[in-house]
A and B are shown apart, each in its own frame.
Chain A
Amino acid sequence: MRNESRLLLVVSLFGAVIGVLFWAVGLSPVYATITSGGTIMLGAVCLLGLLPGYYYHWWSRRMSPRSEDDPEATPESGAGVVGVFPGTSIWPFVLGMSALLVCLSLVFGFWTAIFGFSLAIAAVVGVILESRRGGAI
């Protein structure tokens, strides 16, 4: 887990360093330009890495060691249930089409959104019921 967290923290650090650099260069009166947009976006890059990166770091110190982080693990050591996976499900399709209809209302007017939102409700209910029946997800 540690390398994963480091990767994200590096992204965050890079965003911070470059963001500050960019902002500082922009302060110089030689360049009559607006740098606020770029600074904000680089700041967002910093946060984007920090949040999951720190979360992984936090977890990596609390979780029991994983066989995928152990360079000497054998296939047998990882045997067993990996997780619960949905088999087949129609709801992603329904949800996708509802999103399409909702977005198309930006072009064709409000009426497509009515259908879109109804489908979305159906899909959400469907997914929840499906997960209940199936268990963990």
Chain B
Amino acid sequence: MEQTSLHFRENATRALADPQLQRALGNVKTGFILKRAAARASLPEFDALRDEATAIKTHVIDHLDIYLEEYERRVLASGGHVHWARDAAEAREIVLAICREAGAKTVTKGKSMVSEEIGLNAALEAENIRPVETDLGEYIIQLRREKPSHIIAPAVHLNRDQIEGDFRAAHVDLPPERDLSQIVELVGEARTVLRQQFLAADVGITGANFLIAETGSSVIVTNEGNGDLTQLLPRTHIVIASLEKLVPTLEDASTILRVLARSATGQEMTSYTTFSTGPRRDEDPDGPDAYHVVLLDNGRSAMLGTDFQDMLRCIRCGACLNHCPVYAAVGGHAYGSVYPGPMGAVLTPQLTGIHDAAHLPNASTFCGRCQAVCPMHIPLPKMMRHWRERDFAGQSALATPKLAIRAWAWFAKRPGFYRFATAAQGRVLSLLPRSMLAKLPLARGWTPYRVLPKPASRPFLAQWEAREQEKLRRERPHHG
């Protein structure tokens, strides 16, 4: 998967100047934030449930090895198969092998961030297997050959007219004079087109919101029902999920479900929450003949015992994205990685190395809203700070800030030089006309929007000293 996190600054600059994107991002603010607040207000136990949900995941992570074993045992007992993948390449190879064996030509897919993470679609296409994304948002971005810009609303960066253009370009069999001016017509067209794909698919691939150790079940949470048609109709159902999706029991899943939809879309509960266990039973008239689970590590086990262990509690609700002022300003694509926003700023360096993602933990105002709304109480700002520290200590991709901080430190440790330098700088700047202050080098991020204020002609330290001297002079007792 191509990653452009190294270019966060360029990406962000472009995003801020993109009027289509800015219009689309307005929907995040009015939609998700208000709806979550309303859902929270109507359930007095919401915060207590967050505490419980957090405790459940903390417990699972502390006992992850045993839960994985218990879960595997239950899947096998229900007639399913479990495959283990250390990294993205292994996971792709396992999925491809199952698809080859099933003689798959078309594969339908429910929305899965793990699939994005491992770059599954490109691997399928390279084998002449056609992946069809069936979540409406994912379908749209697949047509555009883009990445999702949000973990629960993949096409939130787009507007209706753009999608109309995509549909006209892709669905060439349909009459060109058809009316697509309303959103409901676009949804209807996608329904018709994807119906045929659901029925034709040989393999269905879904992610999982939870894996349940008690029963060996995988759980998907959707509103569209696309994940269900994906996993019900083809002969083979493949679930791809990362290790930390484990929860102990149906009761524990129920507790987390109570905070998931409310945090994500502000719904009390999504339309469909589906628990799948093994293949169809002998007497069943429908359902897949084979059920495979691919358990992906890809950097998760390496987070255990580190400053980032708590990140494994994440249930991918997207609340931290929705409430992040940086995300709201630049959108998800600027992050240049599969996972955007605050959770992405913590997760991406883990998955790809801090060198390629060094900008992301800095793409934050450290306002703390992400942590405040996170249903799993993940200390996101603290973790971003940890990445900054590691980045600073190691081989950094960000030479400029590092150099700047080193230089500042050199001066700060030498008060004489420091005073001399700041005084000199202040005098120079205060002599410059306003027009030049508006165009100073190294201040590009500021100067297009506001003029740099004229500094005082004497620096703070000098003024302070003078003031203290003056005080002393006045307080000195007068000898008559």
* A-B complex is real: no
A-binding residues in B (CB < 8 A):
none
